[in-house]
Structure 1
């Protein structure tokens, strides 16, 4: 199996970031991959005319050979909050993956969940528009009659909101990741190795992995002993990896959490490279089944396997993790949300111009190196 196929199986289209040598191996698994990942319409009706079909070449080129860069992909980590019955889903993690014009380098950054943004009006959910936290865009857009929520519909409003904020006119693909699916997926690949870059004390889990008891009036709403992740290299199982990447009541708050989430993604990619899933059909089936519970994907008309081929030349070393700094916004002493600093303006300008390589070189302190 090629490296691109391995990584795709682990993280789906949006994170198929490592290429391989032989497309024949991708062919072996592409139908299984395409059928394993739920593919839905996340962006809504296209405002662009459908492309005219191109004449078939002889011999027929591999599917995905005509994918051109640069590419921008919107990734949503969905907080289902299943422990709170009746609570609507929230957009807890928002990431943007940019792949350069020649499809050899990729850049991953995050937007704070509490980022103050202008959420535009959205007719499908009868939302009139307002200035609010980014996490609310999914909730407002997903509202349906009868108190129900449609995540795909909510993603449409989230994408419009992120486009308005960043100036990215169109995303080429989108993905929704379920936190619960993450647990099964990390378990399927045998855990991950992560460098813990600061002490992290969990508010959600006890040292034995059991959820801490809900407690009114207690700090952060929970009571009991707390799992602690000390600085250093550590192998994490599924619940530890997700728990570590979810904590935001730590030094650096949500910006540290964003860094740890990007760190987890890269750790999953690295672990995937050490596995030969094609030689282990049982493990392959386990990973595909976990992926089906983890990912929902929209390639805007293209199948996942097309992106596997298109991104075959990207290497893990060419995935750059970028943390955009910011700070809290207060009014009358009350917390209102987050605001990114001036670096975000130049970052997204460089992204739109496909010049992030030069931007990264001039902002080395904003690159996550571990």
Structure 2
């Protein structure tokens, strides 16, 4: 049969390329192995040559796959190497995780910290003066990101940087230096043991267990804004945050009125601006608007189908963030991002802690008693801050949460250090409110009730005159925590109202305006979804029409 006839049987095969050299040189019928034809006229060696070609193709493919996998692994390790990590907590505060809901799910709490560090050339270029180089950084932005147990809602809660709080004893994880407990403004915590001390301070104040922290500095904000491709913001008037005769400093932010995208240094200026908004509290609102807009932007982008954008974002994120060590890998950060990305924007609520002016310093604020406590209770019990959800069982909008209450007394209880009959307990009457005078003899009544329950050394404290909205039991040091909890239990006060404080010398019951009668603490109504406390400022994540008002001296 002619050679052309052989090709005619299989047009896809080119004998000149597929035959081995010895096959091409061997005459027909020479009797050499592999040189003859089969009964059907085809070459006997064709199956083996095909297998050889397939083996070659498979080898090439394997090399390509292995090379790509190796490159991917090396890049993954490169990204992991970018991430800086630190100890989760470095203070004495002990908060308990919220109990799982009916489906075994638990909330996730992440503390986001913005550092004002000037200890790198990039940070110094973006803000501050050279005399601040080497100084301990301050935690100027502090925001708790709370993801509900079912991952259907989220909240972002800010505490103003100049809030005076009780700071627990902290130990610097790098130097081993121990910082004693104190009361000071909350942004100093970063210099008292790193981000772990800031986290411990939040836990002490709120009673909310915080799973992780993430910290970003000036340069990180710029890099992230650039990688995202800009974030949309809005101002109602032209704004220029610059030094004035009455106020030094300023972020340098200069924008025309209306909605626009900000990039790079402008993003940092927006987040740092305070004077142009009129107060530090309004700065928190501007930060909430920025983060909500950033989340909406990321949701709209097809970043995971754009390799270049994805790599830029991954590089910026891993270089910009310092995180607590248990989430210090690309995969874990990616998983966290996906959980937040899955929450609908209208189920994201940004809020600033209810606060009032600090009586000791008008430049500072303190938590607003019962209003702040209500917010912390909603976070501990995983109650949504919005009303846009539906309860799976009732189908009613925002009427309930399927989360179980926060960890109960039995799980959080500590053993008392001494017998009740030997424990000194002070009782203070702080029942005065803005609308009602203090109840006469209230401390004496509760002191006697404690005596009947075995606390024979309970006494009235008349050295301190104050008024508080909500009753608390305070103790000065960790060794008295169990004793304070036992006193609270005897009076029916919830364990969440037992707090360590540097302002007391022993276990102290401070009777608030919420307990004006009786000797057993009254049951408190549980907050419902969307029932936000008074004296607060909130922004919904789906609100695209919100704009910042500019304080008159900074309009142009």
TM-score by length of 2: 0.48
Q: Does the 8 A contact of 1:201 with 1:228 survive in 2?
A: yes
The answer to whether residue 154 in structure 2 is matched with residue 106 in structure 1 is: yes
**C-alpha distance in 2 between matches for 1:44 and 1:367:** 28
Pairing of 1:243-258 with structure 2 (within 5 A)? 243-258=269-284
Cross-structure match for 1:293: 319
Shift of residue 283, structure 1, vs aligned partner: 2.3
Pairing of 1:62-73 with structure 2 (within 5 A)? 68-73=105-110
Cross-structure match for 2:310: 284
Find 1:337's aligned residue among 336, 346, 364.
364
Cross-structure match for 2:296: 270
Cross-structure match for 1:96: 144
Shift of residue 306, structure 1, vs aligned partner: 3.6
Where 1:187 maps in the other structure, the secondary structure is: helix
Cross-structure match for 2:58: none
Q: Does the 8 A contact of 1:172 with 1:300 survive in 2?
A: no
Cross-structure match for 1:43: 88
The answer to whether residue 224 in structure 2 is matched with residue 185 in structure 1 is: yes
Cross-structure match for 1:173: 212
The answer to whether residue 377 in structure 2 is matched with residue 352 in structure 1 is: no
Larger radius of gyration: 2
Q: Does the 8 A contact of 1:193 with 1:236 survive in 2?
A: yes
Cross-structure match for 1:201: 240
Q: Does the 8 A contact of 2:86 with 2:324 survive in 1?
A: yes
Aligned residue pairs, count: 298
Cross-structure match for 2:52: none
Cross-structure match for 1:368: 539
Relative distance call for 1:166 and 1:119 in structure 2 (3 A) is same
Shift of residue 309, structure 1, vs aligned partner: 5.3
Where 1:356 maps in the other structure, the secondary structure is: coil
Shift of residue 102, structure 1, vs aligned partner: 0.8
Shift of residue 96, structure 1, vs aligned partner: 0.6
Shift of residue 308, structure 1, vs aligned partner: 4.5
Where 1:98 maps in the other structure, the secondary structure is: strand
Cross-structure match for 1:76: 113
Where 1:107 maps in the other structure, the secondary structure is: strand
Q: Give the root-mean-square deviation of aligned CA atoms.
A: 3.4
Q: Does the 8 A contact of 2:238 with 2:254 survive in 1?
A: yes
Unaligned 5+ runs, structure 1: 1-27, 49-65, 142-153, 205-216
Q: Does the 8 A contact of 1:72 with 1:171 survive in 2?
A: yes
Relative distance call for 1:197 and 1:32 in structure 2 (3 A) is farther
TM-score by length of 1: 0.70
Unaligned 5+ runs, structure 2: 1-71, 95-102, 119-123, 386-527, 541-545, 547-556
Relative distance call for 1:235 and 1:251 in structure 2 (3 A) is closer
> More deviation in 338-347 or 295-304?
295-304
Relative distance call for 1:307 and 1:74 in structure 2 (3 A) is same
Shift of residue 355, structure 1, vs aligned partner: 1.2
Highest relative contact order (Cα 8 Å, sep 6+), 1 or 2?
A: 1
Relative distance call for 1:300 and 1:36 in structure 2 (3 A) is same
Shift of residue 185, structure 1, vs aligned partner: 1.3
Where 1:40 maps in the other structure, the secondary structure is: strand
Find 1:157's aligned residue among 197, 201, 206.
197
Shift of residue 74, structure 1, vs aligned partner: 1.0
- Encode CA deviations 1:286-336: one digit per residue, 9 max, x unaligned: 2222112221223736822343455563222221111334243243xx545
Q: Does the 8 A contact of 2:160 with 2:352 survive in 1?
A: no
**C-alpha distance in 1 between matches for 2:153 and 2:373:** 21
Relative distance call for 1:277 and 1:260 in structure 2 (3 A) is same
Q: Does the 8 A contact of 1:67 with 1:307 survive in 2?
A: no
Cross-structure match for 1:4: none
Cross-structure match for 1:242: 268
